[in-house]
Structure 1
Amino acid sequence: MSTTVIDALVVGAGPVGLTLANLLGQQGVDVLLVEKEEGLIDYPRAVGIDDEALRAMQTAGLVDEVLPHTIPDQKIYMINGGRMILSEVNPTTREFGWPRRNGFVQPLVDQALLAGLDRFPNVAVRFGSEVTDLVEDMDGVVATFAAGGTVRARYVVAAEGGASPTRKRLGISFDGETRPTDGIVIDVANDPIGTPHAVFGGDPARSYASIALPHGIRRWEFTLFEDEAADVVEDDAYIAALLAPHVPDPSRLDIIRRRVYRHHARIAGRFRSGRIFLAGDAAHVMPVVGGQGWNSGIRDAFNLGWKLAAVLKGLSTDALLDTYETERRGHVTQMMAVSLEMAKEMTDHDPEKAAERDRIAANRTPEERDAQKRQAFKPQPKFDEGVVVHTPLPTSKSLPARDVPRLAGSLFPQPQATDADGVEMLLDEATGQGWRVITWNNDPAVFLSAQRLAVLDRVGARLVQVVPKAQLPWARKHATSGVTVVGDLGGESSLQAWFDARPVGAVVVRPDHVIAAECLAQELDDVLFAVLEVASIV
């Protein structure tokens, strides 16, 4: 029997595997996505999607299918046992083009991601297909399936959840902690509360969460104490007693499902073993309170997707794939620490510790409350190593001396802008996706050598000239052939404001919207050469 040969095998049709398959499908990579279950999981798990993940959905061409299943700008109130507001989370800015916090229904978003794969004849999906063995050799990995048959893939990505058989088969550790108490999730249709926000209740008697979800769904989560058996979730009287303080009549609730889950904070000892990668919960899990488990998995797919496609298409060497763990591990560790701290703060059932928490909250300054409201506690991705080039601060006397943080390794903003015809849209739509060299006012082609331009053409990079909207007719007429002209709308969130705040006139932006390097216009050719080197572009 012959063995099918493919570029990439993705194991697990959860949100990470589905997102990765879409991103690879866009790049023309031959993908097989396999899932041991007979279909998608149909019960809600994650309930929050952030702006970075929505930008990834935009890049995958699926954001319009995802948005109908979201509640944009969803507030979170942290309250104590007496319902006093300890803090409010309500970030309303749009740095990356989308609301920073959104409630969502995961199964419906997963369905949209699955349907998106129908766009790509180079992507196949097999449900009821369990991988039982992976054997790597010099040229790839041979996967064996429980129902018989094998597949040879050049690379494999395991995204099959926290219990990942692949991670265990590879003998990779999963270090961290499991909290001593479980949680109960109860999802209810025809939301009996009917308000749009989410509440996290740090009640020392029993902590809980009450979260409005799209389409009239309400999610409750309660702590299950150590002396309570997991099967209590099936006891109607027990569930009614839990919900009695929250609704006028628990007997009239339309309960969709109820489940028990564990609180884990763990990270894999490594994310790569040869040609096999771990992503999403297979690589890391964190408490649900921070709402970042799902989003962290999407970041994995977004980071790994463009790199895997570049290597498979012969644009970069295999060394590029080592930067996946280099870049993702640090941010995942930060997010895990934040989530764990939030979980401990809101689920501590020691009355004295809860009282101390309440006292601290009551004495916060207005500045501290504003920082919490803006979600300043959430660490943004920032890579010090990987596909990033850190340039020194310019010493030009044409620039004021300012202590400005360097932004290479962080996400480039996505304000509203215009295309060359003056039509308003989000920046990524105006520039197009993929590698981008973006300059303020200048024609970037003028500053690049023929050698650099040839490499950029080979990798499908875009040269982008940003000008004030008033200059569009002139810039469009005089721009070098192949340069994309974008109109800036001005104002506090504009690209002009972004460039004005820092001593650079050019940026190199990666396919995942991370700033690979920033520099003065005249330095662009040399800096781009350094970027191409760290990106292992051949």
Structure 2
Amino acid sequence: MPHSSPAALDPVDVVIVGAGPTGLTLANLLGIYGVRTLLVEAGEKLIDYPRGVGMDDESLRSFQQIGLVDQVRNHTTPNQIMRFVNGKGTLLAELDPQTDEFGWPRRNAFIQPLVDAELYKGTDRFGCVKVVLGHRMEAFTETRDGIDVDLIGPEGGPVSVSARYLVGADGGRSITRKALGLAFEGRTEPSSWLVVDLRNDPIGSPNAYMGCDPARPYVSIGLPHGIRRFEFMLMPGEDQAFADDDVNMHAMLAEHVPDPAAADIIRRRVYTHHSRVAHSFRKGRVMVAGDAAHLMPVWQGQGFNSGIRDAVNLGWKLACVVHEVSGERLLDSYDSERRPHAAAMVDLSDKVGKVISPTSRLLAGARDAVFRGLGAVPAAKNYVAQMKFKPMPFYESGAVVHRAKDVTGAPVVGRLFIQPRVATREQAEVLLDEVTGPWFTVIAWNNNPLALLDNEAHRTLSRLGARFIEVRPVAQLHYGTEPEGVTIVGDSTGRLKAWFDQRPESVVLVRPDRFVAGACLAQNTSTLTRQVAESLHLIPGGHDAPRPVLPVALPADGVRASAG
């Protein structure tokens, strides 16, 4: 295998501990940004049993950014519907969001080990990224200029590596978090659940069912590649030994599967639900991400997706600091931006769990009555179906410039920018991020953005390596000469015009993670540029931002491409 275990590890900019989805995504991003990265994993291979099963549109957009979305989609079922049913099988509510504002379906079932494997293969595209398996982190020591990391190699011998920063993406039992002394605040549910994954799906239906049955709450989820997941609440006195008894497991499956004894079991495991958030996501030169930073119940599938959000938020900031474009204070915004939203997702997952898990028939009956009432009100039914209750990331502070609102409505800044399909002079239809690229972008409606900048603002954005986009109605796409340094985009779906219609601002500065860093009227673009530069803690006279390495596509047969 191309990834080897060297006897001596060269110094790097960033060490990532843990080759789960968060660590692997971050490693791919740092590869794109030209950051020398070492990803260490204690296991001698990636975890190969199913874990996470729900992927949202934000994660797919992130995998698009690292050039692996086609590989990931091979292991997804798009537009999976989630149906809540009571003990009689009566439909209580249905989650079937139709939005694709970020370019991808809102709900997708997936097979995590296969997606992790694609992310792992993707790291080999980058000469600056190395992955070593079978290396367990023992300790780390922060120095004035960096951090020394002590590992135990696959043969049991000590291995050391020096880095500028360390990211612990090493799971809920994180050694990194514990070594930092960070409190992991929250609670653990008293009840346990049995998860059973089956090959050759004995049901075959494509969607997910949340069984709100007071006799035994359950989950049934159709997954790609013929896999079916069941989860059953265990009652007091039922433990792993109970679940390991085939008679007991077959009895639980018998309510749902024609022939339980013929079920082809991949694994069965008892687990508990944790709702916890680390007291801080950063301490000095060390950060925690993914399950090391937050744990949440599975009900909305947001544990996996929250870890991907962490990686995408942190990746570009580490790149700016490592390449001495920004000062280290930029890393403070990782905690201030990500921790509140992670806590909100934990809270949402807790609330959904309370809907599913009542074992009291009285409480279950009251819940069913509430859902019947909501279902009778079209606006309320639509609110649930379109998942409008899901708290979308919104950064109130950090690497953003909030301005006073001119009109009533949701703020522009600190939210993800939309990703419709657009046209360019070379392509009739393409997703917007494919035009903007994986770095900073200035997007102006019906204006040449370069013409709006004074010399100082132009120098600042040039240092940042920003791309400049002029959005026009598609009817004007080919009018005139395309200005040098500007890409003209035709708004072929009308979604960009609608976005700008709803807001007074006509210019947005979008960060590499596709969040709006600032927005303004056209004449204020230079002023906004200076304010955004301040929020990014740009180093006066510092280095230019690195030009992101465009990811090399992996061939369909899965053979790794060479680094470009």
Shift of 1:3: 6.8
Write the distance in 1 (CA, Å) between the matches of 2:233 and 2:482.
Answer: 64
1:176 is paired with a residue whose SS is strand
1:483 pairs with 475, 483, 486, which one? 486
Write the distance in 2 (CA, Å) between the matches of 1:412 and 1:3.
Answer: 40
1:374 pairs with 377, 386, 406, which one? 386
Contact map agreement 1:80 1:86 (CA 8 A) in 2: yes
1:29 is paired with a residue whose SS is coil
Aligned to 1:23: 29
Structural mapping, 1:132-211, within 5 Å: 132-146=138-152, 147-211=157-221
Write the distance in 2 (CA, Å) between the matches of 1:331 and 1:454.
Answer: 34
* CA deviation vs aligned residue, 1:139-158 (integer Å, no higher than 9, x gap): 11111112312100100000
Aligned to 1:303: 313
Aligned to 1:528: 529
1:61 is paired with a residue whose SS is coil
Instruction: Give the CA RMSD over aligned residues.
Output: 1.2
Write the distance in 2 (CA, Å) between the matches of 1:11 and 1:502.
Answer: 42
Aligned to 2:88: 82
Write the distance in 1 (CA, Å) between the matches of 2:242 and 2:482.
Answer: 72
Write the distance in 2 (CA, Å) between the matches of 1:393 and 1:127.
Answer: 50
Q: Tell which deviates more after alignment, 350-359 or 317-326.
A: 350-359
1:430 pairs with 425, 429, 435, which one? 435
Contact map agreement 2:421 2:493 (CA 8 A) in 1: no
- What is the identity, as a one-letter code, of the residue corresponding to 2:429? E
* CA deviation vs aligned residue, 1:261-291 (integer Å, no higher than 9, x gap): 1200001111111100000000000000111
Write the distance in 2 (CA, Å) between the matches of 1:119 and 1:232.
Answer: 46
Aligned to 2:18: 12
Contact map agreement 2:461 2:529 (CA 8 A) in 1: no
Structural mapping, 1:203-222, within 5 Å: 203-222=213-232
Write the distance in 1 (CA, Å) between the matches of 2:173 and 2:235.
Answer: 23
CA separation of 1:357 and 1:417: change in aligned 2, threshold 3 A: same
Q: Tell which deviates more after alignment, 142-151 or 40-49.
A: 142-151
Aligned to 1:257: 267
1:316 pairs with 301, 326, 329, which one? 326
Contact map agreement 1:422 1:472 (CA 8 A) in 2: no
Q: How many residues of Structure 1 are paired with residues of Structure 2 in the alignment? A: 527
Structural mapping, 1:410-425, within 5 Å: 410-425=415-430
Write the distance in 1 (CA, Å) between the matches of 2:482 and 2:266.
Answer: 61
- What is the identity, as a one-letter code, of the residue corresponding to 1:357? R
1:181 is paired with a residue whose SS is strand
Write the distance in 2 (CA, Å) between the matches of 1:280 and 1:490.
Answer: 36
Shift of 1:349: 1.0
1:453 pairs with 446, 449, 458, which one? 458
Shift of 1:376: 0.8
Shift of 1:83: 1.0
Aligned to 1:511: 512
CA separation of 1:122 and 1:190: change in aligned 2, threshold 3 A: same
- What is the identity, as a one-letter code, of the residue corresponding to 1:534? S
Shift of 1:504: 1.2
Write the distance in 1 (CA, Å) between the matches of 2:9 and 2:357.
Answer: 51
- What is the identity, as a one-letter code, of the residue corresponding to 2:512? P
* CA deviation vs aligned residue, 1:90-149 (integer Å, no higher than 9, x gap): 001101000000000000000000000010111111111000011001111111112312
Shift of 1:431: 2.2
Contact map agreement 1:431 1:486 (CA 8 A) in 2: no
5+ residue gaps, structure 2: 1-6, 540-564
Aligned to 1:474: 479
Shift of 1:405: 2.3
* CA deviation vs aligned residue, 1:216-237 (integer Å, no higher than 9, x gap): 1000011122311222222111
- What is the identity, as a one-letter code, of the residue corresponding to 1:372? V
Contact map agreement 1:422 1:487 (CA 8 A) in 2: no
* CA deviation vs aligned residue, 1:297-351 (integer Å, no higher than 9, x gap): 0000000011001111111110000000000011111111110011122011121
Write the distance in 2 (CA, Å) between the matches of 1:420 and 1:456.
Answer: 24
1:6 is paired with a residue whose SS is coil
2:108 is paired with a residue whose SS is strand
Write the distance in 2 (CA, Å) between the matches of 1:64 and 1:419.
Answer: 22
* CA deviation vs aligned residue, 1:339-387 (integer Å, no higher than 9, x gap): 0011122011121111110110111122111110000110100111011
1:210 is paired with a residue whose SS is strand
Contact map agreement 1:180 1:226 (CA 8 A) in 2: no
Using the size of structure 2 for normalisation, the TM-score is 0.92
Q: Does 1:58 align with 2:64?
A: yes
Write the distance in 2 (CA, Å) between the matches of 1:506 and 1:536.
Answer: 21
5+ residue gaps, structure 1: 395-401
1:125 is paired with a residue whose SS is strand
Q: Does 1:444 align with 2:449?
A: yes
Q: Does 1:348 align with 2:358?
A: yes
Aligned to 2:279: 269
- What is the identity, as a one-letter code, of the residue corresponding to 2:327? T
1:434 is paired with a residue whose SS is coil
Using the size of structure 1 for normalisation, the TM-score is 0.96
- What is the identity, as a one-letter code, of the residue corresponding to 1:419? T
Contact map agreement 1:133 1:145 (CA 8 A) in 2: yes
Structure with larger RCO (C-alpha < 8 A, sep 6+): 2
Aligned to 2:398: 386
Contact map agreement 1:389 1:531 (CA 8 A) in 2: yes
Contact map agreement 1:32 1:123 (CA 8 A) in 2: yes
- What is the identity, as a one-letter code, of the residue corresponding to 1:351? R
Write the distance in 2 (CA, Å) between the matches of 1:287 and 1:56.
Answer: 23
- What is the identity, as a one-letter code, of the residue corresponding to 2:489? V
Structural mapping, 1:107-126, within 5 Å: 107-126=113-132
1:508 is paired with a residue whose SS is strand
CA separation of 1:181 and 1:393: change in aligned 2, threshold 3 A: closer
Shift of 1:34: 0.4
Contact map agreement 2:52 2:301 (CA 8 A) in 1: yes
Q: Does 1:91 align with 2:103?
A: no
Structural mapping, 1:331-346, within 5 Å: 331-346=341-356
Contact map agreement 1:422 1:469 (CA 8 A) in 2: no
1:5 is paired with a residue whose SS is coil
Contact map agreement 2:215 2:359 (CA 8 A) in 1: yes
- What is the identity, as a one-letter code, of the residue corresponding to 2:422? A
Write the distance in 2 (CA, Å) between the matches of 1:511 and 1:87.
Answer: 37
2:479 is paired with a residue whose SS is helix
Shift of 1:478: 4.5
Write the distance in 2 (CA, Å) between the matches of 1:83 and 1:528.
Answer: 56
Q: Does 1:35 align with 2:41?
A: yes
CA separation of 1:317 and 1:403: change in aligned 2, threshold 3 A: same
Identical counterparts, % of pairs = 48
Shift of 1:423: 2.1
Contact map agreement 2:97 2:106 (CA 8 A) in 1: yes
Write the distance in 1 (CA, Å) between the matches of 2:242 and 2:311.
Answer: 37
1:263 is paired with a residue whose SS is strand
Write the distance in 1 (CA, Å) between the matches of 2:16 and 2:424.
Answer: 36
Write the distance in 2 (CA, Å) between the matches of 1:105 and 1:443.
Answer: 44
